[in-house]
Amino acid sequence: MTAFELIRAFAHDATVGIVVTDPMIEPPGPTILYANIAFGWLVGRELDDIVGHSPRFMQGRETRRETLDTFHRALAAGERFHGYLANYRADGTKYRAEIDCRPLRAADGRIENFVAFEREVLRRIGRPTISAAGRYEPISESKDPLTEALRALAVFEHV
């Protein structure tokens, strides 16, 4: 079983958005191969309108190019990207996404896919912080077993 197949098997009902792409990072890639139901809710689209497209469809006027360049460099280096991006739903509403994206490697080290865990966060009010992680908080904190497991795996944590 590949890592992608494993994710597909457990991600379906997860409350966190999960999206898997192919490893082609230059346009028109990466191409979304799988998205779970929670990802469809997060980005305000039917899964049929998500699979087959590049994650760039979520970008808009206030999506920071600098953060996207950091994202691109991490993908090209086969490293994890953890960051915050302004994204847009199909109806044009903007939301802030926390994204934890990692490469999925085959046994020989080749990157087969990328997987991202994504959730909506809000800016904390009145609390000055030094790091981006302290500046945002998730809109809802789920208590389901997968969320607990992701926490144990340090998904969304600074590692």
Q: Does 58 bind ligand FMN (CB under 6 A)?
A: yes
Alpha-carbon torsion (117, 136, 59, 48), positive or negative: positive
Structure tokens at 96: 């802030």
**Distances from the Cα of 122 to the Cαs of 1, 40, 75, 83, 137, in angstroms?**
37, 19, 25, 13, 5
Q: Which of residues 82-141 bind ligand FMN (CB under 6 A)?
A: 85, 87, 97, 99, 101, 114-116, 118
Give the binding range for ligand FMN (CB under 6 A) out of 17-25, 119-127, 128-136, 137-145: 17-25
Identified binder of ligand FMN from the candidate list 2, 10, 24, 56, rule CB under 6 A = 56
Element (H, E) at 4: helix 3-11
75 near ligand FMN, rule: CB under 6 A = yes
Of 103, 99, 94, 101, nearest to 83 (Cα)? 99
**Smallest gap, in angstroms, from Cβ of residue 66 to ligand FMN?**
11
Query: To the nearest 10°, the Cα dihedral for 101, 141, 94, 100?
Result: -10
63 interacts with ligand FMN by CB under 6 A: yes
Between 59 and 142, name the residue whose CB sits nearer to ligand FMN: 59
Among 54, 80, 111, 146, binds ligand FMN (CB under 6 A): 54
The distance of Cα 11 from the centroid of its chain, to the nearest Å, equals: 13
Is 28 or 126 the residue whose CB approaches ligand FMN more closely? Answer: 28
Residues at the contact surface with ligand FMN, assessed by CB under 6 A = 19, 21, 25, 27, 30, 54-56, 58-59, 63, 68, 71-72, 75, 85, 87, 97, 99, 101, 114-116, 118
